[in-house]
């Protein structure tokens, strides 16, 4: 139970930091911010795997998670601008 709450809290903080660092209008709610942060953690772990090796699913820490969330947010913004 506490691990789920930990993932939600970690995802929320990571997503909020990524949204603060990327300029532009981010029209997403709290749940999408949490999902952005959690998905960013997985992207950061995958990038860490490509750079260092190890396990495919590994923790990436705060910096890797924020960088992964920034990458996902930039891709999302680019896709939404292409559709408009």
- Residues 65 and 10: their CA atoms lie apart, in Å, by 9
Q: What pLDDT does 68 receive? A: 93
Q: What pLDDT does 27 receive? A: 82
What angle separates helix 2-21 from helix 30-52, to the nearest 10 degrees?
90
**Mean pLDDT within 52-75:** 84
**More confident of the two residues 53 and 75:** 75
**More confident of the two residues 71 and 24:** 71
**How many other C-beta atoms lie within 10 A of the C-beta of residue 43?**
20
**Mean pLDDT within 21-35:** 88
């Amino acid at each position: 139970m506490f691990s789920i709450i930990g993932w939600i809290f970690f995802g929320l903080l990571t997503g909020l930091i990524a949204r603060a660092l990327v300029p532009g209008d981010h029209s997403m709610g709290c749940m999408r911010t949490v999902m952005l942060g959690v998905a960013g953690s997985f992207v950061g772990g995958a990038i860490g795997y490509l750079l260092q090796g190890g396990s495919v699913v590994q923790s990436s820490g705060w910096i890797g998670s924020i960088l992964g969330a920034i990458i996902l947010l930039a891709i999302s913004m680019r896709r939404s601008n292409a559709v408009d």
